[in-house]
Amino acid sequence: MNQGDDHGHDHGENPGGNHRMSHGGNHRENHGEDHRESRRVNHRMDRGGNVRVNQGTEHVNRMDAIRGGSRPVDHNARSIAALAANPACDRRAVLDAAGIDKDRTVAHLGYASRFGQSPFAITRTQEFKSIVKAHGGAHVLRLLREVLGLAVEEAGYHDAADVGGDSGHGVRHRHTAAVLNAAAQDPADAATLIDHPLLKLGVAGYDVYLEPDVIAFQAARRFHVVAIKSFAIIDGQADTGKVSAAAREAAVYVHAMRDLFARLGLDPERVSHDVVLICPKDFTNFPTACLLDVRLQLEALRRQLERLTRIDTILDRLPPDLSLDLCLDGDTPTRPVSELTAAVSAIPARYAPECLAACEMAYFCREEARACGSLEAIGRSVRDDLGGVDSVRTAIELIGGASPPPEEHAAIAERLRFVRRIFDEVVA
């Protein structure tokens, strides 16, 4: 499938937008404060699940300085999954950590962001979500009974976003924690649906809040993450790419919820690795559900989050006066493009074609990677086939064989020259 189109649809399913619209106006204004609050105290999980607290005011100030006057942009499960998919990319790590609006930045740099979403896809997603959640989540309960084999007749419904109008992320997260804790400790063990839980996650040494895009369900002392997606399951099968994207995102929520449980002193294993995926059935709007085992995605996420360089280590390597400020005049960026280009280029990136489907900056990074002849820009498989060689120019030199290859490239040089010989033989 055409990558560009893929985005449109993926984004269509991202309901983040509509949640923001419904209760966004208020906490938006609190963003700045919230971020500072979240970064002042940095929780970082040890291997043992203990929480380490760092004071990181200095790099919080640095992040704010890098972002300049613009409002910070939130993380969501998709962006964490994307970051975890390319843990070696400092550029993405810094931009995300500083809450830079990548869409706007890349547009100002002169590259179209191909992450637009079709209004039809948005409408469709909203319609489907409201069908699923109608009548106090009646469909959700029916489906949960079916896929989890429970004999639950009814379940309490809490909207974790419902904490009074003017509350910021910190307040809402504490509320989520309280609701989840109450459900977990409930002596009657009543089934509970908790909508819009606001979870947070330690990423590269700082905390981020996740868009509340799932439902948490508790019954028989087990918690399940319930994700609603608008792609169809037809005859029991759905688009592989979309299902795996959904699994990667759901894994982020499971991970964050387990993290929260550990902090609350609850057993993290009470959050199941079986995620409930709710989708339209066949060609209808009627919801159907299936269980998605996300153990693999959880393990990958955990490993990748560990591999992420701590953001302060990356910051130490960057120019001290680095600024990605768009210098917004109202809604218009006034920062000279050449200046911004230089600033973004100062943060090393790790471009691979997979980025095109995951990162707003991809077309900028691709241009840069192509200009310096990166082999990875043609595809990871090409780079792997030519193991050890990283630029097109080196590969061409090795193929040409004018001078003896350096020691580390001796093996691949021999194979490349062999390929050239048989190719010439055939073409001649």
Q: How far apart are the C-alpha atoms of 377 and 354, rounded to whole Å?
A: 9
Applying CB under 8 A, among 55, 164, 284, 330 the residue interacting with another protein is: 284
Binding span for another protein by CB under 8 A among 265-273, 293-301, 310-318, 417-425: 417-425
Stretch that binds another protein, among 79-87, 91-99, 214-222, 235-243 (CB under 8 A): 235-243
Q: Interface with another protein by CB under 8 A: which range of 32-40, 91-99, 172-180, 412-420?
A: 412-420
With beta carbons less than 8 A apart as the criterion, state whether 19 and 159 touch. Answer: no
Within the chain, what is the greatest distance between any pair of CA atoms?
Answer: 82
Q: How many CA atoms lie within 13 A of 197 on its CB side?
A: 33
How far apart CA 18 and CA 26 sit, in angstroms, is 14
Q: What letter would DSSP give residue 409?
A: G
Residue 155 as a binder of another protein (CB under 8 A): the answer is no
- Read off the DSSP letter of residue 327: -
Residue 392 touching another protein (CB under 8 A): yes
By the rule CB under 8 A, 422 interacts with another protein: yes
Please identify which residue in 353, 388, 390, 401 interacts with another protein, judged by CB under 8 A: 353
* Residue burial 119-133, b: 16+ Cβ < 10 Å; e: rest: eebbebbbebbeebb
Closest distance of CB 215 from another protein, Å: 21
Task: Give the nearest distance from C-beta 351 to another protein in angstroms.
Answer: 11
396 part of the interface to another protein, by CB under 8 A: yes
Listing from the earlier edge strand, what are the strands of the sheet with 222-228?
156-159, 192-195, 215-219, 222-228, 274-280, 287-293
Q: d(Cα 258, Cα 170) in Å, to the nearest integer?
A: 18
Is residue 378 close enough to count as binding another protein by CB under 8 A?
A: yes
Report the residue number, 256 or 278, with the smaller CB distance to another protein: 278
**Do the beta carbons of residue 298 and residue 46 sit within 8 Å?**
no
Angstrom distance (rounded) from CA 112 to CA 90: 22
> 80: Cβ–Cβ under 8 A, 6 or more apart, which residues?
201, 203, 208, 210, 252, 301
Q: Does 381 engage in binding with another protein (CB under 8 A)?
A: yes
Could you say which of 153, 235, 321, 407 contacts another protein (CB under 8 A)? 235
Contact stretch for another protein (CB under 8 A) within 83-91, 191-199, 215-223, 384-392:
384-392
Q: Is 125 one of the binding residues for another protein (CB under 8 A)?
A: yes
Q: Which of 64, 103, 312, 385 binds another protein (CB under 8 A)?
A: 385
Residues in the chain: 428
Q: How far is CA 382 from CA 82, 369, 395, in A?
A: 22, 14, 11
Residue 110 as a binder of another protein (CB under 8 A): the answer is no
Q: Quick one: which segment of 4-12, 134-142, 298-306, 403-411 binds another protein (CB under 8 A)?
A: 4-12
Q: Is 103 in the site for another protein (CB under 8 A)?
A: no
**Smallest distance, another protein to C-beta of residue 40, A:** 39
The stretch near another protein (CB under 8 A) out of 57-65, 102-110, 327-335, 368-376 is 368-376
Residue 39 Cα distances to 80, 244, 385, 419, angstroms: 17, 31, 42, 54
- Binding segment for another protein (CB under 8 A), chosen from 92-100, 258-266, 310-318, 388-396, is 388-396
Query: Is 377 one of the binding residues for another protein (CB under 8 A)?
Result: yes
21 touches another protein by CB under 8 A: no
**β-strand 274-280 against 287-293: which pairing, if any?**
antiparallel
Residue 271 CB, shortest distance to another protein, in Å, is 31
# residues near another protein by CB under 8 A: 65
Query: Closest approach of Cβ 292 to another protein, in Å?
Result: 18
CA-closest candidate to residue 335, choices 12, 67, 98, 94: 67
Contacting positions for another protein (CB under 8 A): 1-9, 11-12, 112, 114, 116-125, 230-232, 234-236, 239, 280, 282-286, 353-354, 356-357, 370, 373, 375, 377-379, 381-382, 385-386, 392, 395-396, 399, 415-416, 418-423, 425-427
